[in-house]
Structure 1
Amino acid sequence: MTSRGSRLDWILFLALGLMWGTSYLFIKIGVETLPTFTLVAARLGTGLVLLVAVVAIARERLPREPKMYGHLLVMSVVNIALPFALITSAEQSVDSAVAAILNGGVPLFTIVIAALFLHDEPITVNRLAGLAVGYTGVIILVGRGLGSGGGPGAISGELALLASTASYGFGAVYARRNVRGLRPMIPALFQVGFAFVITGTIALLTERPFDVQWTGRSIFAIAWLGLLGSGLAYLCFFRLLQSWGATRTSMVAYLLPIVGIVAGALVLSEVVDAGVLVGTALVIGGVALVNSRFGQRRIFGRTPPPVDAA
């Protein structure tokens, strides 16, 4: 790889962290006036326009197997529609920084689900240590919401965030097993498209989106979330997948809590106390341990099937 290409990839990596990390800030701004599914559908519809244009220009081939569309529909629910709705609903009562921190712990849920369903993803010593450290951070953050007087709303919001994180983890494992052999932009296009139809339908049936208060702040938030968080961010992500690979690209998870904390404090004056800092450090540390190379001895996981002799 040329130094120029390397510099561009680092720029895209930082841009990806910025776009995804600030998404929690703009969700918080959006929920000031917009109900959950209206905000999610508007965001996805905006991003879908960009993705359709890119796929059309690139002349990407569509899947030929009908069952693949079924898998992409499942992915649209567990990887986009459900977690987006949970996060958006949660941020009605939870700080954007806390949302960013808890969602930065997706690998902590992914490895547990993967150990149950995938033969080559066992729980090893380093992963067990990472789980212990990371979940300690999660407990501190959830306990902070209870101890700060946030009440049932804050706790239910944090539980919704944890559910969204688990949904992302399930989506990662489901994609590993069922969504293969496709150019990266195709899953993104159909996941966003299906999720837009699902959330848009729910919004029309339950929230009367045309009667809500559309402010300049909410429109800007949707534009940011759609064009950048759900559109341009995917383009950066898939470019990095091709040049860096999945493991290195996944390190963007370390940036999300940091960007989320800074953005929430600067723009919304959210409080950054010791509980936030300690919880963040433990979640990031847990993710780092999960991805480390030491302690690879298997502790728990599905036993690989025997290999037949040739």
Structure 2
Amino acid sequence: MRFRNAILFVALAVAWGSAFTAIKAGLAYFPPVLFAAFRYDLAGVMMLGYAAVVTDQWLPRSRADWAVVGIGGTLMIAAYHALLFVGELGTTSAAAAIVVSLSPILTTGFARAFLPDERLTPLGIVGLLVGFLGVVALSNPDPGNLLDPRTVSLSLVFLAAACFALGSVLTRRFDDDLAIETMEAWSMLLGALLMHGISAALSESVADVRWTGEALLALSYLVVVASALGFLIYFDLLERLGPIEINLVSYAAPVVAAATGLLVLGETPTVATGVGFACILVGFGLLKRDALRTELARLGGAPNRSD
């Protein structure tokens, strides 16, 4: 069982980490927000079909159900991906993945603000600040030119991570009965619709797309591998491992993004990239120290089985 979980964990890290490289590659052929909308047009339909097969409720019914879908579609799909895809225009795959890995830290911060049962300890506050320091180290801003393209791009990716984290916290405020597969499917479809609206407002057009083999490969990879296959693995691991260990994928994905960015696009990680990643990883460890300690104890005491 451990061996199977480890393989699936690595597969998910590869699927989601390499997605940043696929996004960067595809941006050479697609307007950014339209690219993201196309991805979730297709992924949403696939996910809805999957939800119809594996759940007994493929359609939201209550106000709480639709509220969760609305938050997920607006913040976790549309805002997150529109900002991420635009942000990746001016930075590397690895840098974008590292900033996005701040999401679990931001989620904890938002949870303390919006969920009454959550508390942030002094050491947790230190972890939050260390995580933010990692983003500053990664962006390495020029005080004399804070609006240089790279700093602006990383700021947009940071806002993307913040939108995703805020959405994940706000959805927990509603007592809904939706299966996660159904919520993801309808959020994807709503998010795609919203991104088409944003794309039109930005005067992006299908006529601007260059339909090359590379463009279709990047889009197909994001739809099939990063979205459909990635979420199937995620649902399986979430049930088996729980949210704490799944969060660790956020810290394996940047390593994959750096490797695939180097191999596919010739992107070379910098010292600032490594320092930023280390700070964010330390920040996560400080924030989640108790949960990580519990998980390590559980894993250390679990029987050694395999299949």
Q: Same fold (TM over 0.5)?
A: yes
Query: Among 271, 275, 281, which residue is 2:272 paired with?
Result: 275
2:223 aligns with 226
Q: Distance in 1 between matches of 2:146 and 2:15?
A: 28
CA gap 1:59/1:128 in 2 versus in 1, 3 angstroms: closer
CA apart distance, 1:238: 1.1
CA gap 1:131/1:273 in 2 versus in 1, 3 angstroms: same
Give a deviation string over 1:243-278, Cα, whole Å, max 9, x none: 111222222112122111111122211122211111
1:131 aligns with 128
Equivalent residue runs for 1:200-211 within 5 Å: 200-204=196-200, 206-211=203-208
CA gap 1:122/1:227 in 2 versus in 1, 3 angstroms: same
2:190 aligns with 194
Does residue 48 (structure 1) correspond to residue 34 (structure 2)? The answer is no
1:242 aligns with 239
Of 204-213 and 18-27, deviating more is 204-213
1:11 aligns with 7
Q: Distance in 1 between matches of 2:215 and 2:205?
A: 16
1:256 aligns with 253
Asked whether the equivalents of residues 92 and 267 of structure 2 are also in contact (C-alpha less than 8 Å), the reply is: yes
Unaligned runs of 5+ in 1: 297-310
Query: Among 78, 82, 93, which residue is 1:96 paired with?
Result: 93
**TM-score normalised by length of structure 2:** 0.87
Query: Among 80, 83, 103, which residue is 1:86 paired with?
Result: 83
The one-letter amino acid paired with 1:34 is: F
2:66 aligns with 69
Q: Secondary structure at the match of 1:123?
A: coil
CA apart distance, 1:24: 0.7
Unaligned runs of 5+ in 2: 294-307
CA apart distance, 1:179: 5.8
2:304 aligns with none
Q: Distance in 2 between matches of 1:187 and 1:59?
A: 11
Query: Among 26, 31, 36, which residue is 1:30 paired with?
Result: 26
Matched positions, count: 289
Query: Among 141, 159, 169, which residue is 1:173 paired with?
Result: 169
CA gap 1:268/1:105 in 2 versus in 1, 3 angstroms: same
Asked whether the equivalents of residues 65 and 178 of structure 2 are also in contact (C-alpha less than 8 Å), the reply is: no
RMSD over aligned CA atoms reads 2.1
The one-letter amino acid paired with 2:189 is: G
Does residue 58 (structure 1) correspond to residue 54 (structure 2)? The answer is yes
CA apart distance, 1:59: 4.6
Q: Secondary structure at the match of 1:15?
A: helix
The one-letter amino acid paired with 2:81 is: F
Asked whether the equivalents of residues 126 and 292 of structure 1 are also in contact (C-alpha less than 8 Å), the reply is: no
The one-letter amino acid paired with 2:149 is: G
Identity in percent: 27
Of 113-122 and 26-35, deviating more is 113-122
Of 252-261 and 173-182, deviating more is 173-182
CA apart distance, 1:53: 2.3
CA gap 1:16/1:150 in 2 versus in 1, 3 angstroms: farther
2:300 aligns with none
Q: Secondary structure at the match of 1:226?
A: helix
Asked whether the equivalents of residues 146 and 154 of structure 1 are also in contact (C-alpha less than 8 Å), the reply is: no
The one-letter amino acid paired with 2:70 is: L
